[in-house]
Every structure is written in structure tokens, then in C-alpha cells.
Structure 1
Amino acid sequence: MKHRAFLLNTTILLLMIPLLLLLATYESASSSIIFAQNERTQVEREYFDILGMQEDLRNAIDLSMKKSYLTMTEYVISNGFVNDASETMEDLIVYGEINGVKQTELNKFTLKYWFGNVVTYLQAQGMTITPNDPDEFVSNHLEITVAPLDSFHLAVRVKIKDITIQDSSGKVVYQGDLPQSGYMYSILSISGVEDPYIARKLNGLYTRVIEPCRIPFPSSEYGFYNVSELDNAALDQCYIGVDGDNVIYPSILERFEGNINYQTHEHYLSLAHEFQRDLGIKTPLPIGLATLTVPSVDNVLLEALKSLGGTPLPSSTNIDYYYLQCAIDGSPCLTGVPVPGSEYGIILDSASSDAILGP
């Protein structure tokens, strides 16, 4: 009986060995699978956090840019032109300030405020970010540039430099720039928004809304105006995107500044072409804006000029910037001649005539 029991136990043991080996193998495989799943989940969570942060940054820039543009428009119309519109708008986007004065409309829409929220959010997730101080972030880790993209669009270029995100164990989740290469761009159309230059220049007695004319960029590529279309442009009070060699047409930023400086204009033009190349625009587009101010077909404009002591100018070009500088400020007039065939007697200087009607 003992012999049979021994054989039986031996047989059971031999049968159990493969099962034990199978169980050990299964536990090892399960452990590896669970570990791999945890690793993948962690990587996916970390990857999602970075993508989510980048997308959140893009949304913050878009919203802040729109609010900042409207705030700067209201400020200029109410208080006067700014010295550096690009820098002023950058300060609004980052700090919500104009000349160091807080603008309450931007309280919760600045990039400094956004970064403070990022720090708080990551802490709630058991993570940390370096830097973690919003002041240090905007001073040393944020690069921002505002410039015209073309006559009818403003752009802001942003890059966050050298940040480090760690999890609760101290493991580095992300280190580097956002975006990882190049810049993040936000583009704002200025169509449908009040022209700050005309509203401020005419002391709020007259205003225009920026809308592109039927031919927004007259050129050999896009076509030039004929006399009938030019008359329609005067009636519609629309805007033409144009650059010139002998005559400088103010970009939207220069309209916030109230004057044209050759060096500033060239700087804005250079930035615009750089932005255009980065965004894949192969043919350079102009940044200058021009609209026709013709008092003979615009009684509201005529009355506004009279209220400010201005008078219609029989020989000044009807390009708005130069016409108003001459009529209101007494600056030297940019003289022109009547456009042949114009029903409204539109006057253009020779450079503007070539740029709009064609050589």
C-alpha cells in the first residue's frame, strides 16, 4: 500500500510540475503585460498632457489677441495714439496693460494669467513645471512678436522656451520648447472692425469700418481698378491693400500710432514677409491700407472736417492718411490730379494712381 501511495504521489507531482510552470509563466507574462500597459498608459497620458497644453496655449493666444485688439482700438479712439502699437499689443496679450496701466477687460485673458492656471492644473495632477512663477515665465521663457501679416490681417508669433515638466516621482515628462520647433502663430482678421486712425483723427465725429474692396490687392497678378470701380470704392468706403516705393501707406499698426515712420514701416514690412514665408505664403502681400476720403460724396465726412476747422482740399490726393494729415494737421499736402473719367472727381497722386489703377 505504501508503495502504491508513493507511486500515486509521484504521479500527481509529475502532473503538477507542468501546471506550476504554466502558472509561473502566466503570472510572469501577466505581470509583463500589466507593466507594459501601465507604461503605455503613462506615456499616453504624458503625451496627451503636452498636446493638451499646446492646444490650450493656442486657444489662449487666439482669445487674448482678439480682446487685446479691441481694447487697443477703444483706447486709441478715447485717449490718443500709442507710440509703439506692436509693443503695446504684446503688453496687452502678456500683461493686460497699456503703458503700465491695467486694462480690466484683459484681467483673465493674458498669457501670464494662463500660465498661472497651467501651474495650478499640473499641481492638481501631481506634476510640476519649471519655471513655476508667472513673472519669471513671461520675463525669461516667453517670446512674442506682433506684426501685420498683410493689409487685412494681424499676426502674433509665440514660442515658450525651455520648460521642464516632472511627475510626482521626479521623472521628467517633458523638457524643451513649445512648440518643439518653429513658432505658434495666431492670425486675426481686422475686417469688420473700426479704423482707429480715422476715428481718432476726426475726434469721434466720423468713423469707418475696415472692409476690403472688391479687389483687395491691386496688382498685375490680382488685377487693377478701372475708373468705375474706383468710384464705387469711394462710395463703399472700402479699403485697398497696397504698398508703394515713393508713397508709404500705413499698416494697421501704424494706424494705431497715428503716423508713418520709414524705419518702423520697413521693420513691419520685413516681419510681415517673414511671417508670410513661415506660413507658406509664396507671393509677398502688402501691409499698407488705403481708403478714399472724398468729401464731395460723403456729407458726414465734410461736416466732421468743418467741425475741426478743416476744409476740402482741391488738389490733395484723396488717399485718407495724406488727405487728413493735410486737412486737419496742416501737413504738406500730397498733391494729385483728378482721375480722368471719375464721376466724383477723385484725385490721386501719381504713385497711388500707378498702384491702384495700374502703370
Structure 2
Amino acid sequence: MRKRRAYIINSTVILLIIPLILLLATYEDVSSQIVFYQSERMQVERTYRVVSYIEMDFQRTLEISGKRAVVTVVDYIASTGNFLSASSSPANITIRDLMLVEEAQGVSQQYADKLMKDQTVFRWLLNISSELDKQGYTLEVDDTAISDVASMSRDKRKEFLRKNVDITVAPLDSFRIVVRARIDNVKIYDSANNVVYQGTIPRDGYVYSIVSIEELEDPMFSALTGGRYFRSIRPCNYTYPELIDRPIKVLYGDGASTVYHYPGVYSKTTDIGNIFFGNAYPGDGASAYVIKSGTPTDPSIPMIVNTSLTEGGDLADPSKVFKTGDLGVLAFDETSGGGSNSWCSGLEYRLNITVTNNAGEDLNDYQIPILLSTAKDLTTQVLGFLFSHTDYSENQDPFKNGAAIEIYDENCRPVPFWIEYWSPRKSKALIWIRDSLEDRESKTYSIYFGEGTPTKGYHPEQVFLFFDDFTDPWTEKWQEVDDTPTQSGGELTIPGGNSYYVVRTKETLDYSDSFAIRFRMKGTANSDWDSGVGIDDVLRHTVLFTDDYSGSGDGMAIHLAGWWPATAVGDGGRADIRTFNTYEAQVVPLTNILRITEFTFRDILDQDANAISRQERADTRSLGWTFGTPQYVYLVTDTDGSTIPDTIFDYVLVRKHPSSGDLLDDPNFNGIKVSSPQKLRRDIEEKPEGSSSITITPARAYDLQPFVECLMDQRYFGTYSGWSFFERLENSNRNHEGYVRLAKRMQDELGIKYGNEYYPIGLVSFMIPHRVYDEKLFNIFVSLQIAPEEGVSSADYNFLNHYFKSRDVISSTGYRVWGISYEDPNNPNPNLHNPREVPFFIDYETATAIFGTEGANDLLKR
């Protein structure tokens, strides 16, 4: 019984122990698995951290090596003048190779070593491999240890890296470069030789690094100018005018004007030369108006009313859009009158004349003499009707006569003019205008005449290089030298004296080509009298032109070296100096190989407008100096004896003059043909009844100040057609389309498009050799004796290659821009300081990119 009980007890114990043993075994198994999985998780986390670290460090490496590679290329090109080859070493491949191994076909190894400083992807692989080795890992690429890659030859190593390191260097937009990279076939082993990672770096996709080129030197400038000129890439505030905002402001409205364009300065005051802008018409005085609402009344004063931000939109106050002092341009679709068939004036009659340049050379911005005489192709009937139906001053002296006439061009724009003489008795008049006529070119003008207030001219000071008819105080244009003149009735009297330089012009002549000083004078008594004009140069060499009289008339004198002796004296002096005569002193400076300045002095017209044509000639061949750039015009006299006559001047003007020949000289100015299709009295046109001279037309008011400020600061615009940074490294746009495709791919991958539009990659800045816009470039042109050429686009890549490399032309014809480099020479604005002196030209494609199509059509002088 005891044995059985013991057996039962033992069996029970065993049965109780078995679960415990099973539980213990299970616990040990689970514990083992937990330890294993914890160890595996730790290994995975460690591997993740290692790979993540490699990815982040790889991105930093791309940024550093990318910047160094770009700087290396820029420095090499700027220093040597050697551009990359667009075919054999394009910019993106060159930068990629420098990033990989510090070697590139297009860059000297010396520059690469100096600037890259071993900051390459290969050096990074060596460094990261060493760091991993310290942590018990081994890095392989394409089953090759990095140490083995280092042992390869340079060419084999370069080939290996190009195969396994996928780097793409591309323009991202106009002002940024992107580097996209991935390392293929990567393996990482642990210390037990287990593969802990196999794949690419990064694990998914690519690593991207964006490099800004802002403030980086644009190497084109230094390379093409031989180090004379530098420019850094700085964006304009209006960076992408084709995508976002343009560097101009515009208001739309209804306009009326006799001119298609009016440039000026926006102002809140109604002063001459200003474009008044505001809510309502403030009154007369301004030269043009832009107002929120109103009705144009006088088309001779350009006006835009009912202004809006969009064509046909809600009214907008111009004072909320424009700023005082900003440069503005008004553009009109049509002019009042709209053409030669409409009536431009309030006068009753119109004579249409055709003026043809037969002078044998282009007359650019020239004083054109219009001689109304039977010596031209004008009939006696037409001239008789003109002079008998025109109110005039009825002065016995035809030079004192004004006439009720107005002159308009084919677009109904008023033409500045000055009447030198108007002689109804002889049916003859001489009128001066200012225009440009190419050789053999013809232009048509309309002379309106009839009943009205006689005038000597319309803005005559705009016709000549210098003009004074002494109707305004003489002190406005002249400065006293040896004595004080007096003034009365439109005449200036200089007192007699011994070798007097009585007065001189306040301003320099500012013209160095051939010219003529035309003046009218007389003496107050037939006594010893030598009077006339003088001109000096920058070295104060003075040449005098005087009519000499000492009783019977000594003639025409040219004094090349002081008053006495006269270098040349004619023998046909006047017997009576108490009547007015018109003279002309002609100067041809430095226009021939021998550097001989030629002078001619002519007595051309007497008081009754008869040609006398006495003259004397002289030149500087016998002197020890050469006449240089002209400076001031003088009024001079030398009188002796018991009776000292004064000298009276009626007018003084300076005009351009051909350097050879007399086709633009009195008496008939044979180089200018004046003709008219109107031959009979009945051909003269009369003003139609009820004709209106006001045409309301769509018009636009532009504010160009933002664009001007970008020009002044030499800023860059991002455009689709401009040369990208890579093209500037190659000095070629051969790869433009390829770079555009690369950029679009990168923008798609990074998702940085502007809406649905791609950002451009092109760049353009402008080069203007003018003191105000770029004094450094101006000085370079002066020192190299380069003259800016009409029509050469100022876009930097075109400008540099044209003027500094084989006269290459890349852009199409460049045009002047209204308000910046152009204004109507017949209607200049005194506030703009002659923009036609600014050599700024922009091709139509670039203008369209910056201004838009409408703006380009309005603002370019084409």
C-alpha cells in the first residue's frame, strides 16, 4: 500500500514538472528569438543610420564640389579668355568631370588643381570608405573596393567613376544650376563579411543639389574685353518678365495727339517738358497729359484720358500707378489728322513739297534748307499765290519778315522751322528745318499758309546746333568777355574797341565734325571796322572771321593766329558797311589725312536777299598747331580811328556743313531738290469746310523707370531666348535647345515650375557706352577709339562679340527705344537731355521678351 502511494505521488510530481520543463524550454526559445530580433533590429537601424549619413554627406559633397567646379570654370575663362568648346567640352560635361575627378578636357589642370582643391566625388568616396572602415564596414562600388579604385590609372579610374556615378549637371533656371547624382552598384559589408546594404546611393531616386550663380562673375565680359571690364550676375527685380511682372507699367486710355509718341518725365506740375498725371485736367502748361477722365481738346498737346489698367477696364487713377520723376512714353495708334489727306492746321491753304537729298551723302539729323524760289521746281503761279495769300510782317527788310505759315510732315506732326528771309516782292524765301535724309531719299512736307499771325518760326532753337535771334535776353546764351553789349528790337549791338572778344557762348558747341557759323551783321559807320565771329578749340587756339573795312573795303579776312596780320584777306570788301549782310564761316576740322583744318569765309546775302558770294579761304598747313575740337563761338570787333563804329548782329546760328563741296551752300543749295506736284493756281489745296483736326484713338501711357533702373544697375533678366550661363561659358548658343530640354526635365522632377509654365534659362543684360549709364564702358570705348554703331543690339552677348570679337553679329537689328535712346528730333523734350546721344539698341526678340509684343511695338523706334 505504501509502495503504491509512493508511486502515485512520484507520478503526480512528474506530471507537474513536465509543464514546467516545457514552459522553461519555451521561454528559452522565445528569449533567444527576442535577442536575435533585437540584434537584427539594431543592425538594421545601424545600417539605416549609416546609409542615411552617406546620403546626406553625398548631397553636401555635391554642393561643395559643384560650387568649386563652377568657380573653377569661371576663373579659367575670365583669366585666360579661352571659352569651353560647345562640341568637345560643353559646360555641363566639363563641370561634371571636375566634380568627379578634378580633371576636364576644357580646363587647364593648373586651374583645376588650384581651385578644386581635391573637393571631388572621388575624394569623398575615399574619405567615406575610410570612415566606414573605422566602424567595421567595407564599401564597394561595382564589386570593387574604393582602395582598388584609387590604385587604377587616371583614365581607367575616370571611366569607372563615369560608369558607376550617375551625375547630371543642368541649368535649373536662369539663375540656378542643379546637380543630380546617384551612385550605382553599392555594397556595404560588416566585419563578419555580411552584406548589410546593397543598392544605390541614395536608396530611392537621386540626390539633388542646387547651386546659385547670383553674384558670380559672368566670364564673357572679362574674356572678350581682355580683362578691361567685369560684370557680376545680379537679377533685376523684375527677374522673369515673360512669366511674372514686366519692368514697365502701362495704362490704357483714349488719346489725341499730332504725334505718335511723346516721351517725357511724369510730374504733378504743369511745366514744359512734363507729362502731367492725375485725376483731372489741371490747366495748361504741361507738354502732355495722362488723366483719369476727361476729353482731349487740343491734339497739339498729347493727351490720354479715361485711363485703366487693362484695355477697356475700370478707370484707374494714374497717380496710383506712376511716380513723379519717372520716365514716361505716350503711344498713340493714330494721330489727329492721320495722314497727308487730312487737314493738320487752322490755316486756309496747303502747298505740298517734296524735298530730295542730292548732296551725295547721307544727311543725318541735318539742317535742311528749303528754298522757295523759281530756282527750284516751283512754278511762278504757285509761288505768286503763296506769297500773295500769306500774311507777313510787311517789313522792308525781308530778313525781318515773319509769315503766317506752319509746316507738317506726312504724319501730321508739326515740324520746327525758321524763316531766314521772306520776300514777297521777289516771291522768294529761305526756310530751315531739321531732319535726316539718306542720299537720294525724298520726304514730303506740307506748308500751310493764309491769314494768321506772322511768325519767324516754330521752335527754331531745335533746328540748329546753336541759334540766337536776340529776341530773348542775350545773357541766356552769351557770356561777357571784353565788354558789355546792348540789345534792342531783336538786335545785339557790340561796342567798338581794340581787338575785342566782346562775348562768347555760355555752352560749348559740342560738335566736332564740319560746321558753319552763319550770322548777319552791319556796322554803324563807314570807318575803320573789322567785325565778325570767332571760334576756339580745346587748346584755346582761336580763329577769327571778319569783314575788314578801312575806307574802300579791304575784304574778307580769316585770322588764324591772332588779330594781326590776317592770314587771308580778300580784295572785294564792301563800300558801305551800314547795311546788313549775311556771312558764313565754314570750318572743316581734322577730316583729312594731313590733319589740315580748312576754313572758308563767305559774304553771301545782302539786305535784299541777293547772293553776293564773295569768299576767302585759308587752312592750317603753315601753322605749328592743328585746330582741335571746337568749343565756344565769339562775337569780335577791332575798330580804330576818330569814329569808332559799333557792330549790330541780327542773328547767329550754327549748322552742320558737308566736309567737301558746296551743294549745301547759297545761293541755290543745289544739293537739296525742292519740288511740288502742284503747278497751277487751282492745284493749291484749300481747307475743307467742317474739317476736324482731332482724332480720338486708343493710346497707352508707359512708365519705363523700372527698366531704366535695371539698365543703370547693369542687372540681368531671365528670358527664354537669352544665352544661359552654360552658353556664356561656351560663348555660343549652339547647345541652347539641349540645355532647355535638360532644364525642363529637372523642373519636372523637382516640381518647381511656375504654374504650368517652365522657367527660362536664358540671361540678358545690356551694355551702354554712355557716361550716365556705364561710365567705365564709355571710357573703354574712348580709350580704344571705338564708335558705337547704329543698329547693333546692346544685348550683352551680341554687344561683346560684335565690338570685341571679329565684329560678330548674333542678334538681329537693334532699335532705339523711345524716351531712353530716341525722341523726335523735330520735337525734342528739354527734360530728357537729348536721348538720341544714348547708344542703346534692343533687338525685337529681346524687346518682346522684356516689354511684351504690344510694348515692343509701341516703344521701339522702327
Does the pair score TM above 0.5? yes
Give the AA of the match of 2:84: V
Alpha carbons of structure 1 residues 147 and 23: separation in structure 2 relative to 1, 3 Å:
same
1:72 to 2:70 alignment: no
Higher mean C-alpha displacement, 99-108 vs 59-68: 99-108
* Residue pair 2:137, 2:188 contacting (<8 A) in 1 also: no
Give the AA of the match of 2:209: S
Aligned to 2:388: none
* C-alpha distance in structure 1 between counterparts of 2:91 and 2:133, whole Å: 36
* C-alpha distance in structure 1 between counterparts of 2:44 and 2:239, whole Å: 49
Give the AA of the match of 1:327: Y
* C-alpha distance in structure 2 between counterparts of 1:323 and 1:118, whole Å: 48
Aligned to 2:314: none
1:274 to 2:745 alignment: yes
1:209 to 2:215 alignment: no
The aligned length equals 351
Higher mean C-alpha displacement, 52-61 vs 198-207: 198-207
Alpha carbons of structure 1 residues 332 and 120: separation in structure 2 relative to 1, 3 Å:
closer
Aligned to 1:85: 91
Deviation at 1:332, TM superposition (A): 4.5
Aligned to 1:117: 127
1:353 to 2:847 alignment: yes
* C-alpha distance in structure 1 between counterparts of 2:49 and 2:33, whole Å: 24
Aligned to 1:190: 213
Alpha carbons of structure 1 residues 175 and 307: separation in structure 2 relative to 1, 3 Å:
farther
Deviation at 1:97, TM superposition (A): 2.4
Deviation at 1:337, TM superposition (A): 1.7
* Residue pair 2:220, 2:728 contacting (<8 A) in 1 also: yes
* C-alpha distance in structure 2 between counterparts of 1:290 and 1:268, whole Å: 16
Aligned to 1:337: 815
Identify which of 161, 164, 169 aligns with 2:184.
161
* C-alpha distance in structure 2 between counterparts of 1:299 and 1:211, whole Å: 19
Aligned to 1:284: 758
Alpha carbons of structure 1 residues 308 and 46: separation in structure 2 relative to 1, 3 Å:
farther
Deviation at 1:151, TM superposition (A): 0.8
Matched residue of 1:295: which SS? coil
Give the AA of the match of 1:123: D
Deviation at 1:5, TM superposition (A): 9.4
* C-alpha distance in structure 2 between counterparts of 1:307 and 1:159, whole Å: 52
* C-alpha distance in structure 1 between counterparts of 2:179 and 2:781, whole Å: 35
Deviation at 1:11, TM superposition (A): 7.7
1:251 to 2:724 alignment: yes
* C-alpha distance in structure 2 between counterparts of 1:326 and 1:195, whole Å: 17
- Give CA deviations for 1:233-270 in whole Å, capped at 9, x if unaligned: 110111001123xxxx2110111112332xx1111111
Normalized per residue, the structure richer in strand is 2
Deviation at 1:147, TM superposition (A): 1.8
Deviation at 1:181, TM superposition (A): 4.1
1:302 to 2:778 alignment: yes
* C-alpha distance in structure 2 between counterparts of 1:82 and 1:31, whole Å: 65
* C-alpha distance in structure 1 between counterparts of 2:798 and 2:84, whole Å: 19
Aligned to 1:55: 56
Deviation at 1:7, TM superposition (A): 9.0
Aligned to 1:34: 35
Matched residue of 2:34: which SS? helix
* C-alpha distance in structure 2 between counterparts of 1:307 and 1:216, whole Å: 34
* C-alpha distance in structure 2 between counterparts of 1:329 and 1:15, whole Å: 104
Deviation at 1:17, TM superposition (A): 5.1
* C-alpha distance in structure 2 between counterparts of 1:305 and 1:156, whole Å: 40
* C-alpha distance in structure 2 between counterparts of 1:18 and 1:260, whole Å: 86
Aligned to 1:230: 707
Alpha carbons of structure 1 residues 278 and 234: separation in structure 2 relative to 1, 3 Å:
same
* C-alpha distance in structure 2 between counterparts of 1:283 and 1:96, whole Å: 36
Instruction: Give the % identical residues.
Output: 35
Deviation at 1:19, TM superposition (A): 4.6
Aligned to 1:178: 201
Q: Mapping of 1:82-161 within 5 angstroms?
A: 82-83=84-85, 84-99=90-105, 101=109, 102-124=112-134, 125-129=136-140, 130-132=143-145, 133-134=149-150, 135=157, 137-161=160-184
Question: Rg larger in 1 or in 2?
Answer: 2
* Residue pair 1:242, 1:289 contacting (<8 A) in 2 also: yes
Specify every segment of 5 or more residues in structure 1 that has no aligned partner in the other structure, as ranges. none
* C-alpha distance in structure 1 between counterparts of 2:130 and 2:232, whole Å: 41
Aligned to 2:787: 311
Deviation at 1:324, TM superposition (A): 1.6
Aligned to 1:46: 47
Alpha carbons of structure 1 residues 54 and 309: separation in structure 2 relative to 1, 3 Å:
farther
Give the AA of the match of 1:274: R
Deviation at 1:218, TM superposition (A): 0.8
Matched residue of 1:286: which SS? coil
* C-alpha distance in structure 2 between counterparts of 1:182 and 1:243, whole Å: 29
* C-alpha distance in structure 1 between counterparts of 2:742 and 2:819, whole Å: 39
* Residue pair 2:224, 2:805 contacting (<8 A) in 1 also: no
* C-alpha distance in structure 2 between counterparts of 1:290 and 1:197, whole Å: 12
* C-alpha distance in structure 2 between counterparts of 1:309 and 1:114, whole Å: 52
Specify every segment of 5 or more residues in structure 2 that has no aligned partner in the other structure, as ranges. 151-156, 249-703, 821-831, 854-862
Higher mean C-alpha displacement, 336-345 vs 249-258: 336-345
* C-alpha distance in structure 1 between counterparts of 2:767 and 2:777, whole Å: 8
Normalized per residue, the structure richer in helix is 1
- Give CA deviations for 1:268-292 in whole Å, capped at 9, x if unaligned: 1111111111111242111111001
* Residue pair 1:313, 1:327 contacting (<8 A) in 2 also: no
Give the AA of the match of 2:200: D
TM-score, with length taken from structure 2:
0.38
* C-alpha distance in structure 1 between counterparts of 2:133 and 2:41, whole Å: 22
Cα RMSD for the two superposed structures: 2.5
* C-alpha distance in structure 1 between counterparts of 2:124 and 2:768, whole Å: 46
Matched residue of 2:216: which SS? coil
